[in-house]
Amino acid sequence: MFALRASSSSTRSALRTCPRLFASFSSTSRANAAGPVIADFLEEDSGPASATPFNIAEPPQVDGPPTAAGGFYAKSNMLGLASRYNQPPRAATRAELPEYKLHCRSSRNNTIVTFTKPDGSTIAWCSGGSTENKFKKANRAKFEAGYQCAKHIFGRILEYYHGHENFKLQLFFKGFGEGREAMKTALLAAEGDPIRPLISRVTDRTPIKIGGTRAKKARRG
């Protein structure tokens, strides 16, 4: 290594002392350095056309509309989704049906039955005094008056059911009069056969007194 350094330093000192020798040496080194570069370029230029970096491997294709590849949104899947949404509407289940209400209020003076919509608006009603027999006074609270009320309201419910949408029925009882038992008897008889499948719930709304004020004195005799 020391020998190489000494030779290079001696060469540089000789070139500095003789300018002509330095000029000839620099031109020779440039020619020797440019020779391999030009030779490599000529070899690359004289090679086959496939070796050039600008070669087109395939002929150009005509540009057209994009096509969908296979996947979730393929044409077959889209057809399946379309067929699914084109199916006829599903029939409503019993839990989804609107719930109409039938109220039976039976007191010691009268029996009143009312058929209402889910929002509470009245569709039909009947009482012991508005039946075909037109019961009067205390007879409006008897068993026969309550039975006639039940038959009349059952007919109105069936008439409304055949002319409107399907629905289910909730039955409410209030009071302990004879009309309460008359309603239950009519519902279990032949007159109640078309109504029983519509009933989904039976509720007793009779208020029960717990404590409170003093009860009314019992009637004598």
Q: Given this model, what pLDDT does residue 3 score? A: 46
Give the mean pLDDT of 100-127.
95
CA pair distance 96, 187, nearest whole angstrom: 24
Count of Cβ atoms closer than 10 Å to residue 181 Cβ: 14
Give the mean pLDDT of 197-216.
91
Identify the band that residue 96 occupies on the pLDDT scale cut at 50, 70 and 90: confident
Picking from 16-30, 58-72, 81-95, which range would have the lowest pLDDT averaged per residue? 16-30
Q: How does the average pLDDT of the chain come out, rounded?
A: 77
Out of 26-30, 70-74, 199-203, the most confident range is 199-203
Q: Given this model, what pLDDT does residue 164 score? A: 85
Instruction: Give residue limits of the domains in the chain.
Output: 9-46, 96-204
Higher pLDDT, 153 or 65: 153
* Domain 96-204, architecture per CATH: 2-Layer Sandwich (3.30)
Instruction: Write the DSSP string, the chain.
Output: -HHHHHHHHHHHHHHHH-HHHHHHHHHHHHHHHHHHHHHHHHHHHHS-GGGSTT--SSPPPPP----PPSSTTSHHHHHHHHHHHTSPPPPPPGGGS-EEEEEEEE-SS-EEEEEE-TTS-EEEEEETTSSTT---GGGGGSHHHHHHHHHHHHHHHHHHHHHS---EEEEEEE--SHHHHHHHHHHHSGGGTTTGGGEEEEEE------S-SPPPPPPP-
Residue 154 has pLDDT above 60, yes or no: yes
Whether the CB-CB separation of 84 and 77 falls below 8 Å is answered with no
Whether the CB-CB separation of 182 and 219 falls below 8 Å is answered with no
Residue 79 has pLDDT above 70, yes or no: no
The model scores a pTM over 0.75: no
| Residue range 45-72, pLDDT digits in tens | 455 555 455 555 566 666 667 766 655 5
Identify the band that residue 31 occupies on the pLDDT scale cut at 50, 70 and 90: very low
Residue 11 has pLDDT above 50, yes or no: yes
Q: What is the amino acid identity at position 14? A: A
Count of Cβ atoms closer than 10 Å to residue 169 Cβ: 20
CA pair distance 171, 121, nearest whole angstrom: 15
Residue 201 has pLDDT above 50, yes or no: yes
Whether the CB-CB separation of 188 and 199 falls below 8 Å is answered with no
Q: Given this model, what pLDDT does residue 212 score? A: 85
